[in-house]
């Protein structure tokens, strides 16, 4: 998986061979016990293997907190996102390490359980929103 070192912040791209639908991903997040399930439509235009997949579910196991923000691609390119100009590319799913720039993060986090030092930070840019969370890990399920 590609790793992008941006000085104090490191991005590891996680969505290799798949992505969210670029126009209307129909994003939803659900809390199940201490997990958060992020559901969205896949991108069959760029990834033809996903033409018969109706949704992708990413489960973030033992998720301490998550947020869905309203930054879109236009705002990202204008520098209105805390990772603008350092994230490698818009519309991708990353594990982010190092400086998470939390001092400039919105305070609209949904708390699920206690944050631990071993949790990883995940970030996914969608058409008109971004999702981020702190969790122990993640898994992907395709819904046909």
Question: pLDDT per residue over 14-39, tens digit each?
Answer: 999 999 999 999 999 999 999 999 99
Q: Which of 42, 50, 60, 77 is nearest to 119 (CA)?
A: 60
Mean predicted lDDT score pLDDT of the chain: 94
pLDDT 10s digits, 81-111: 889 889 999 899 999 999 999 988 889 999 9
In this prediction, residues 28-55 reach a mean pLDDT of: 97
pLDDT of residue 1 exceeding 80, the answer is no
What percentage of residues in the chain have a pLDDT greater than 90? 78
pLDDT at 108: 94
The pTM of this model reads 0.95
Which DSSP category does 109 fall into? P
């Amino acid at each position: 998986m590609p790793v992008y070192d941006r000085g104090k912040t490191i991005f590891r791209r996680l969505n290799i061979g798949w992505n969210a639908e670029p126009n209307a991903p129909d994003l939803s997040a659900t809390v199940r016990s201490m997990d958060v399930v992020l559901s969205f439509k896949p991108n069959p235009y760029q990834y033809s293997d996903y033409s018969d997949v109706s949704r992708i579910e990413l489960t973030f196991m033992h998720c301490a907190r998550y947020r869905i923000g309203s930054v879109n691609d236009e705002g990202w390119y204008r520098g209105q996102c805390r990772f603008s100009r350092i994230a490698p590319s818009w519309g991708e799913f990353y594990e982010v390490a190092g400086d998470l720039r939390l001092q400039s993060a919105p305070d609209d986090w949904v708390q699920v359980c206690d944050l631990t030092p071993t949790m990883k930070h995940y970030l996914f840019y969608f058409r008109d929103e971004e999702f981020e969370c702190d969790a122990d890990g993640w898994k992907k399920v395709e819904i046909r």
